[in-house]
Amino acid sequence: MTRFDQFFQTALEGLSRRHLRRELRPLERDGPVIVRRDGGTLLNFSSNDYLGLSIHPDLKARSIEWTQRFGTGSGASRLVTGTSEQHRLVEEKLARFKGTETALLLASGWQANAAILPALFRLSVEASGAPAVVFTDRLNHASLHHGCQAAGIRQIRFAHNDLGHLEQALERHGDQKGLRFIVTESVFSMDGDRADIAALKALADRYDAFLYLDEAHATGVLGPQGRGLSAEIGGVDLVMGTFSKGLGGFGAYVAGSRPLCDWLVSTCSGFIYTTALPPSLLGAIDAALDLVPTMDAERRHLAALAAQLRTDLARRGWSTGLSSTQIVPVMVGDAEQALALARTLAAQGVLGGAIRPPTVPPGTARIRLALSAAHDAGMLDRLLRALDEGAREHGIVR
Ligand SMILES: Cc1ncc(COP(=O)(O)O)c(C=O)c1O
């Protein structure tokens, strides 16, 4: 015990009373969609490993091979020791995949957003002498908020995916001197809905704004050959994404123009002051980038499963919001009820995470279901039966 522990305890009890306390629970994976927890087996609907690549033999083999050839760690920041051939090869492959001039690897999606935005916004001061004017979707991921906060800018928030509202804001702030930035996601992680990238790009062009797009949940899954929604139209100024979800590994990327990536190499704290990605991860990413473009059948299966699930849930009276992707929220509303429902799911052998404020807005707690190409129709039936049971047990009004 330290003398501060009593403060932690009291603060934690406060979180518990508001049903906001989070806890780590031991879990072991057993195949693409099965996990073991508390001695039982659960069917997993909570993982972002959308294509099941994290256990693919090709990723494992190249990760092992590159570890054996190049070691377990990179030793230092790339600016200190130099850039390895593997980093260069993976970045080139990534730029080809995303259809951009170049790309840059970063440590994680969270770190990328948290560190890129402050570096990017500095450009405004350099170019115009005034701070950046930043327009953000109200439901942007925590890491995007963090990046804005770290940059010390005030976000001009527009209603979720409401481009009319965004346009009004662009109009209202039209006479501000700084460079304009629109920061949003192509697929929203807690709602599974999509941004209209073509319309965003048109707005960005009309108002001379820089478009920053987070493709964390689209990479590998959506767009032509899984290249993300930005690949459908091209011309997005900066696309970031992660390797931790559809690509089955870990780490993140920025894809864009050469001057953009050169700027980040010189100014992005989260790139400069951190150790380069290790060979094991680079090997897995390299293999995933070979496989993903060939996985149209898996993507079709995943999309069909998600559509089926939404139809079945709607038939049973559940709302799935505006989901149109592999992420399907089952809206509950009350945080305590969402937690109770997740507990019943687990008792029925199904893992579906309860997502509560502050991750989602107050009153919109939900079970976030994330589908994988490794799921099948029988598994969806099991999930639906478990949800019905939970609704009955806890008197959840649908
Ligand atoms: C939209 C979005 N961006 C970024 C991240 C962070 O990515 P990573 O898990 O690679 O840190 C997430 C992860 O949940 C996300 O949902």
What pLDDT does 1 receive? 85
Helix (H) or strand (E) holding 299: helix 296-315
Tens digit of pLDDT at every position of the chain (398 positions): 899 999 999 999 999 998 778 889 899 999 889 999 988 999 999 999 999 999 999 999 999 999 999 999 999 999 998 899 999 999 999 999 999 999 999 999 999 999 999 999 999 999 999 999 999 999 999 999 999 999 999 999 999 999 999 999 999 999 999 999 999 999 999 999 999 999 999 999 999 999 999 999 999 999 999 999 999 999 999 999 999 999 999 999 999 999 999 999 999 999 999 999 999 999 999 999 999 999 999 999 999 999 999 999 999 999 999 999 999 999 999 999 999 999 999 999 999 999 998 899 999 999 999 999 999 999 999 999 999 999 999 988 88
How far, in Å, from the CA of 110 to the mean position of ligand 1? 5
Pairwise CA distance, residues 96 & 100, whole Å:
7
* Domain(s) of CATH 3.90.1150.10: residues in the chain: 24-51+295-394
Residue range 24-51+295-394, CATH number: 3.90.1150.10
For domain 58-293, give the CATH number: 3.40.640.10
pTM of the model: 0.96
Best probe residue, ligand 1, of 106, 193, 242 (max atoms within 8 Å of C-beta) = 242
What is the ipTM, given to two decimal places? 0.99
Q: Are 196 and 162 in contact (CB under 8 A)?
A: no
Given the CA of residue 111, which atom of ligand 1 is nearest to it? 11
- Phi first, then psi, for residue 264 (nearest 5°) are -65, -40
Catalytic residue positions, numbered = 48, 141, 185, 189, 214, 217, 245
Contact in structure between 214 and 207 (CB atoms under 8 Å): no
Q: What is the largest CA-CA distance in the chain?
A: 62
How many A from CA of 244 to the centre of ligand 1? Answer: 8
Residue ranges of the chain that CATH labels 3.40.640.10: 58-293
State the amino acid at position 216 in one-letter form. Answer: A
Measured between alpha carbons, how far is 68 from 239 in angstroms, rounded to an integer? Answer: 32
Q: Which atom of ligand 1 is nearest to the CA of 189?
A: 16
Rounded to the nearest angstrom, the distance between the alpha carbon of 216 and the centre of ligand 1 is 6
Looking at the DSSP assignment, which residues form a beta bridge with residue 102? 256
Determine contact, residues 396/327, Cβ cutoff 8 Å: no
Pocket test for ligand 1, best of 116, 244, 325 (most atoms within 8 A of CB): 244
Kindly compute the dihedral angle of the four CA atoms of residues 360, 390, 319, 184, in this order, to the nearest 10 degrees.
30
